[in-house]
Amino acid sequence: MLDDAILGRLKDDRVLLTGGAGFLGSHLKARLEPHVAALFVPRTATHDLRQESAVKQVFAEFKPTLVIHAAATVGGIGLNREQPATMFDDNMRMSFFLTEQSYLAGVRKFVGLGTICAYPKFTPVPFKEEDLWNGYPEETNAPYGFAKKLLIVQGQAYAQQYGFNAVHLLVVNLYGPGDNFSEKSSHVIPALIRRFSESKKARAKTVVCWGDGTPTREFLYVEDGAEGIIRATELYDSIDPINIGSGFEITMRELAELIAEIVGFDGEIEWDTSKPNGQPRRKLDTSKAETAFGFHAQTDFRTGLKRTIEWYRENESEILKT
């Protein structure tokens, strides 16, 4: 858990937290806000970070000393296949403008949040940071993954030429209360929770899932993720990207069966092999994060899923309106 010594280092900071109204960002905001001098969360309606003029306006108005860039245009395999240009363009623009303006404004540190989608499709498991550039990302999310890789390159270039303190965290897939349960853009855990819950209510006999169920994924409970990011913000100052994850691996088949069990769906699960599997395996080597800033995940996966499903049930009526 975060201690007062770590949080106390932030007491004089004016923190610009992009994506602070989103899933991960809202948890970061709740953790940070009581401990910093000021915290600003830009919203797209007034400060569209894909526009250089809007980013300049944010820095002129708020004058941050610390930037945590958690904003991103994200989605599951379906959205990445349908809108690859949007995934690349939105994320590239935000990253470039925010890094440049952070350097020009003289912020003491820029923390960029990346993605394990940046790793090559056939990375040896567990994924080690030094393997990041040893191949092409999985095709269904390559534009998104490459846009996030540009954030690493830019930060390292600014560090080398200007001495700019930019760090990059490769964050595994997050889940937990407050996740995005949209039918169009949700990731796999919220998508399955919603699908099995609706199927249970409808007394459906089957639920169809994409692929063949063999790919593996790693997931990190969102509150653990927020802790890891805050620890890195104050305790990590290397230009080398670093993994933030749980080190836990589960197949898609096992995941679907576990969610079905907790939800109480007792029908059959069918696998549509005409749909893509995505990357064959994902599991991070998280040893560097534990050594560098003492982070390791605390939340058991089944416990985290139960909390997420409970939150979904409590908010289901509002979720189904979206």
Q: How confident is the model at residue 4 (pLDDT cuts 50, 70, 90)?
A: low
DSSP-assigned letter for residue 284 = B
Full domain range(s) for residue 105: 4-179+218-247+282-299
When the pLDDT of each residue in the chain is averaged and rounded to a whole number, the result is 94
Q: What is the pLDDT of residue 1?
A: 64
pLDDT over 90 percentage in the chain: 87
φ/ψ of 45, rounded to 5, equals: -60, -35
**Number of domain units in the chain:** 1
DSSP-assigned letter for residue 176 = S
Q: How far is CA 301 from the centre of its chain?
A: 17
pTM: 0.92
Q: How confident is the model at residue 195 (pLDDT cuts 50, 70, 90)?
A: very high
Place of tokens 């889940």: 175
Mean pLDDT score, 306-320:
94
Token code pair at residue 87: 């995934």
Q: Does any domain span residue 195?
A: no
The two beta strands, 173-175 and 250-251, are unpaired
Q: What is the pLDDT of residue 289?
A: 98
Q: Does any domain span residue 104?
A: yes
How many Å apart are CA 322 and CA 319, to the nearest integer? 6
Q: For residue 98, what are the β-bridge partners? A: none
Under 8 Å between Cβ of 118 and 145: yes
Mean pLDDT score, 178-191:
89
Q: What is the pLDDT of residue 171?
A: 95
Mean pLDDT score, 6-31:
92
Catalytic site residue 158? no
Under 8 Å between Cβ of 283 and 125: yes
Name the active-site residue from 144, 175, 221, 312. 144
Q: Above 80 in pLDDT, residue 124?
A: yes
First-to-last alpha carbon distance for the chain, in angstroms, is: 34
Q: Above 70 in pLDDT, residue 279?
A: yes
Under 8 Å between Cβ of 238 and 167: yes
Under 8 Å between Cβ of 10 and 35: yes
Greater pLDDT, 116 or 17: 17
Token code pair at residue 4: 């007062």
Token code pair at residue 40: 């600003």
Q: Does any domain span residue 295?
A: yes
What tens digit of pLDDT does each residue of 229-254 get? 999 999 999 999 999 999 999 999 99
Q: Above 90 in pLDDT, residue 321?
A: no
DSSP-assigned letter for residue 120 = B
Q: Does any domain span residue 227?
A: yes
Q: Does any domain span residue 79?
A: yes
How many Å apart are CA 144 and CA 74, to the nearest integer? 8
Q: Does any domain span residue 261?
A: no
What tens digit of pLDDT does each residue of 50-100 get? 999 999 999 999 999 999 999 999 887 888 899 999 999 999 999 999 999
Mean pLDDT score, 200-225:
96
Q: Above 90 in pLDDT, residue 185?
A: no
CATH of the domain at 120: 3.40.50.720
Q: Does any domain span residue 184?
A: no
E strand residue ranges, the chain: 14-18, 38-40, 66-69, 109-115, 166-171, 173-175, 206-210, 216-217, 219-221, 242-244, 250-251, 268-272
Q: Does any domain span residue 189?
A: no
Q: What is the pLDDT of residue 101?
A: 98
Q: How confident is the model at residue 228 (pLDDT cuts 50, 70, 90)?
A: very high
Q: How confident is the model at residue 320 (pLDDT cuts 50, 70, 90)?
A: confident
Q: How confident is the model at residue 9 (pLDDT cuts 50, 70, 90)?
A: confident
DSSP for 131-182?
Answer: GTTSSPBPGGGHHHHHHHHHHHHHHHHHHHHH---EEEEEEPEEESTT----
Q: Above 70 in pLDDT, residue 5?
A: no
Closest CA to 143 of 74, 210, 96, 240: 74
